Chains A and B, each alone.
Chain A
Amino acid sequence: MTDEIRFEHISMEFPGVLANDDISLSIRNGEVFALVGENGAGKSTLMNILYGINTPTAGELYVRGEKVTNFSPKAAIDRGIGMVHQHFMLVPSFTVAQNIVLGREPKNAGVLFDNRKAEKLTRELVEEYGLEVDPSAEVRDISVGLQQRVEILKTLYRGADILILDEPTAVLTPQETDELFEVIRRIVREKQMTVIIITHKLYEVMAISDRVGVMRQGRLIGVENTCDVDERKLASMMVGRPVLFDHLEKTGTPGEVAIKVDDLYVADNRGLPAVRGVSLEVRRGEVLGIAAIEGNGQSELLEAITGLRKINRGKVSVCGKDAANKTPGEIRALGLSHVPEDRLSTGVDKAASVADNLLIGRQKEKRFNLFGFHQRRSTVERYASELYQKFDIRGAGIRTEVGSMSGGNMQKVVVAREFTFDTPVLVISQPTRGVDIGAMEFFHTRIIEKRNEGAAILLSSADLDEVFRLSDRIITLYEGKITGEFRADEITKEEIGLYMTGTGEGAKA
């Protein structure tokens, strides 16, 4: 085997973030190389350099021994590199065939686009690689799994022999994942392709890769032969220390029911059913965790409960009062606070100051108003400064724009605001996404404090360890349905994993 790709001392800095820090790495011809690391570890940035989307700030890149000087996707395509991005790069209104040939269209008489030939070429590829998909279907009408196939076919059409897959399984069902892995094995075996797969799911690394590189905070921590390591070893490399947090002291016994959801149906953005008949209860003084792979209805469920999304059928009550299809403001008035999944789009006003972001929700309180309308800026700033210190927000003070802060500090602003409402119900989604380990511990402690004080907490997180650590009870969601409910201390992560993929006991029977 020879070196297909060589990174030499590659660094990439974005404004304020060193995304890649002095990375040297070789990837061999004909191997499946897995690149693992937490969110924000710099995996995608490194691969975007390989694909020419990013030009590295420093360092060199060699492809088949040749130094890369021209960083552009076009040049990368010409070098035989194909990339399937995490967010698919497809034109929704174009057909499958039109998407595949985009940029290298077959032509009729040298001028007109030859749709028939495009579909014929697509069909040939479909047959050659066994990736079944209808060439004439519009991309917006086909499932996510099929869209991913279109992405792969696209790179193959362009003659790629190096294939980069950026978190390809995040949106796939287990069956689709199995099929994808089958395809990867086939193209490596039969076509001698080199495949780089970015992931943070360790069992996938074990299942598919020959070698694995671990990244953490922009650095490459190590490269191993997959057969020489196990998941535990990789996990400790990823987080930089053995995954072992201090024990969180949980006290008290659950009280009355504060969130009650009954036979709930909710649609996703495309109008497809995302939540299908979910019923659950959360009591005061307990944390109910939702374990699910992204895209199985957990986001829609929480949005429906908090009033951000329309409920098609079913009941929701908060603190004993009907909360179905009310506005977020009305539901908050019932006694609910919400740390939303996407803090940038929902949790903050990026253009506003820290103080303004901390104030919202309380702006009508008497102490902040003179004569009921004049905003008392000094009182607002004093209040904001208190929270700023209490929640250990670090930045250039309460007058800085929130948009210029790091993810962790931005999240602290959100948590500071929402937790200070002291409501009996807390809905928390992805509390530590993109947050460093130190801050993570901070958020966990705060959440358990709230629990011990008697709040009913509904928690959703993509981080299974987090769900385990914080929850008293765990439910698993799969394709919008609850597939299991457990006490957190009576089940293992491995078992939960089965239920999350719809292959648990219930599904098997």
Chain B
Amino acid sequence: MQAQHDNLALSVTALTKDYPGVRAVDNVSFGIERNTVHCLVGENGAGKSTIVKMLTGALEPTSGSMAILGSDYSPRSTQDARQGGIGTLFQELHVVDQLTVLENLTLGMEKSRFGFLIKSDLEDRVTQTLAAIAPSIDPSARCSTLSVAQKQIVEIARAASSGASIIIMDEPTAALSEREVQRLFGVIRRLKTANVTVIYISHKLDEIFELGDNVTVMRDGKHIATKPLTEVNGRPELIEMMVGRSISHDYVPRPGVRDKVVMSVDNLSNDLLKNVSFDVKEGEIVGFYGLVGAGKTEVARAIFGADKAEGVVNFNGHSKMTSPKQAIEKGIALVPEERRTQGLFTELTIRRNIPIMNIGRLATLGVFRPERERSVAREFVKKLGIATHSIEKYAEKLSGGNQQKVVLSKCLYADADMLLLDEPTRGVDVGAKSEIYDVIKDLANDGKSIAIFSSELEEVLGICDRVFLMYDGEIRQEIENGSDIDINTILNVVTGGGSRDNV
């Protein structure tokens, strides 16, 4: 057993990670061959991130083992992982803009005597590594002058020259242009010849086929398959493995949708959006489905006036919003993506959080009516089933699901005609989830229009009347929800297949 693993750059055996109530990774075993690009694919929540966290020492496995080149590997921290030879390319950049490329490459590894930096072969080594993978980057340039892609390459070079034999890349192309992606791929291919194994995680299946040697497919925390990509029969088979089930969704067409168009959006564009056009009817629930980086959040923020964008928006006769304040006044409310940093005032109580978006309603001539505030808070705590024994509980202390209900209450109290819900049930337990869905449906039945921006397919197919599939900042396809939905087609679209301009 051990002997056959000696050839593997990395192997995991019976790896399992439990969270309270959830098994995020379930008895996963696979091996990664040396000097290959090994792709890790799966839907959101399939367990990829959890595996990566265990590999980099950020999480400890509940059970199971990992081995590098056949010898046991159990990191306790990111430092351990570095020493074990695993480098990580994080989604947020970790280069120091103010230093030069060379200074960044040697950061933390400098040779010194009495605190003085001394010349060593380190500089030559890292310069050579950089030259080998990206000859166009000048080592003496300041990092602030580099593009995002170039900074990523600097990070890769740093990992490679710090002795990493395995580099993990989690969605590295999310913020890159097409040309930059090609340059990054060139770098990754050259890494293989420099004795580096790459673990590549991406939702963009075209990238996987273009770049990868082997692929491991994950689904619902379980290992589905590991095989050479040459043996995978194109996108359909890969998607089949990723989905592998009929998504059970009990969507029932609702009668409440009226013909009146409440919002129409025409050619919405900015840095991350390309000509997004759609409309939403009164009483309708529409969904925006796409994977990480597809541009869902950007659509929500642009409509809400939080980000600038070109294009025409018509909402009940009002033109495009210029600020969240204006949007709320005109009847649009947003549940933001990051509830703890963008939606909630964690150091305030539930009572103080709920009325914020429509605070004027609680006051007469600017003077607060505390009894009204309390009754509003109680009303929403009851209505949404927020688990607390006091409206004076600090939002900080609530569980994820209850925090999200508070954020939702904020929006409901704004009494908006249109609700934008960005990842409304992320990190929310099953019970709270279905309660939130019930609230959403009730609202729609009352004639409100709802837009859900979600990376969970079940969620979108469960309650949305129409779904817009997004990929790379654009709406690739619009589908009517119903019984004839084909999951494979949807996944094909949101992973970049069957696109208009890419065929």
Q: Do A and B come from one complex?
A: no
